[in-house]
Chains A and B, each alone.
Chain A
Amino acid sequence: MSDFVVSAERVTKTFGKGGVTALQEIDLEVGRGEFISLIGPSGCGKSTLLRVIGDLVPPTTGEILVNGKSAHRARLDRDYGIVFQAAVLYDWRTVAKNISLPLELGGWDRSRRTSRVREMVKLVELEGFEKNYPWQLSGGMQQRVSIARALSFSPALLLMDEPFGALDEMTRERLNLELLRIWAETGSTVIFVTHSISEAVFLSTRVVVMSARPGRITAVIPIDLEQPRTAETREEPRFFELVTEVREALHAGGADEVVAELEALE
């Protein structure tokens, strides 16, 4: 029995009969409490990898174990908390009801749900908004509800697919800090897909660099910045060195044209 939360072995995913190879022979092991970022150009399969790990799409070949179980078993055991780029809140549910949805499905009784929701609302600092509907919240607040919902049932693994991609830079940096605080407080394991090199470096314990056509892992870069990270972390020389290292790894992945695209995005 391994102590890895995720261990992927030779995972390949092809789409369609012609066989667009979205993922080729991916090997990845994620330890308990790690914060892993997947970064790479569009089409490198980072979102697909996240969905394969979360048992939302099946791999074509290869094996994925989550907590030593198949990904399918892990999904049925509610081991995953998922956050997408869009908050995907249910419009007809209040903030509190959105957060408690996974708890309802998990068969928690009402009083446990209520106290858990209160905790989560506090964790993402949305006190006073429990009874509001999603349309009454800003984009950043909606995404915090989405994070609270994903964490409400204490899943073993948090899967985040560009969760801050649609937010403005200020909100994004603030939520980065909040996410790190939550990660430290809850001791969860996170796999985080992003387009932003600096975001990946700032958040992660390891950055996994991927390249496209076929989607594969080209480098894994440990991030040795001190914990806990603060707003000042972004100004340390080591931070810039690591950003450069990740950028060069992206270049080395044979993705020059897409690196330019990535940098334009930042």
Chain B
Amino acid sequence: MTTIVHEPTRRRGRTLGQRAGKWLPAVAVFGFGLVAWQWILPALGIERFLLPPFWDVLEAFWESRDELVRAGWITFSEALGGFALGCSLAFLFALALARWRPLGSALMPYLIAANAVPIVAFAPITNAWFGILSPWSKIVIAAVLCFFPVLVNTLRGLTSVRPESIELMRSYAARQPSVFRRVRVPNSLPFVFSALKIASVLAMIGAVVGDYFGGSTEALGVQIVQAVSLAQYEKAWAAILVASVLGIAFYASVALVERFALHWHTSTRGSAE
């Protein structure tokens, strides 16, 4: 009997030149953005207190680098703590709601409604609950911000399994924990990672905004507020830059983990096929 064998198609080995070509437009845009910030905006008469030139911001960063890096680290730890707490609780909740469906249908409308609540509005309240200097008031805000998107997405991922997948597991006499471990949870991972990427951004927002309502003077958000009130706009922008770099790095690390964890999934394959 003859069998036609198809070699699996993989296109991994792009040359360095091709890769560079792919990134070139994005790099050009980045360069143009810096040029615009440094020279074009001042030339248009944009005042320093609205947006100081890029180089001045960098100088301000360099002058207060120890202070800003420590502040960045403090706020980033709050964000990370909130992210870890909110996402793990959301994942466990989603498992429970997927396992006991009536519970899910009873709670789902409220969870979706809660997802639409502007949670940063609670930031002054958590300060009152946990103490203004405690990192917990910021961690909780970040956690609550992360919680709902992760919960809703994970639940969708756990339940949107094609029926035949479950029927097959039934035919192997698999029990519920096994169906979850081997089918529902892996099936949910693409959804979970989308949510984790959103959550990484939200956690950073939660921590910084939490700082705005008061906190240790060493935290990044507090530094921004103070710098602005003292008309140190360069320093405020430098702090914002630190927050942005941390936020992007956080997002990128989650995306990197996703690439490894979901190497079997369409979303990570690229569109070059």
Taking Cβ atoms with an 8 Å cutoff, the residues of A that contact B are 51, 54-56, 75-78, 80-82, 84, 86, 88, 90-93, 101-102, 104-106, 125, 128-129, 132-138, 141, 153, 174, 177-178, 181
Contacts and interface: CB of A to CB of B under 8 A. Distances in A.
A56 B9 CA distance: 37
A106 B1 contact: no
B14 interface: no
Interface stretch (B74-82, B170-178, B251-259): B170-178
Contacts of A153: 172
Contacts, number: 73
Contacts of A88: 162, 164-165, 168
A105 B173 contact: yes
Contact of B173 (A75, A91, A101): A75
B6 interface: yes
Given A90-B183, A102-B172, A105-B173, A178 B164 contact: no
B8 interface: yes
A55 B173 CA distance: 11
Interface in B1-43: 1, 3-6, 8-10
Contacts of A80: 171
B164 A86 contact: yes
B186 interface: yes
Nearest to B169: A105
> Which of B182, B264, B265, B266 lies at the interface centre, i.e. has the most chain A CB atoms within 10 A of its CB?
B264
Contact of A77 (B3, B173, B186): B173
Contact of A91 (B4, B172, B264): B264
B161 to A, nearest CB: 10
A81 to B, nearest CB: 8
A14 B3 CA distance: 43
B172 A78 contact: yes
Interface string B35-53: 0000000000000000000
Contacts of B162: 86, 88
Contact of B165 (A90, A102, A106, A136): A90
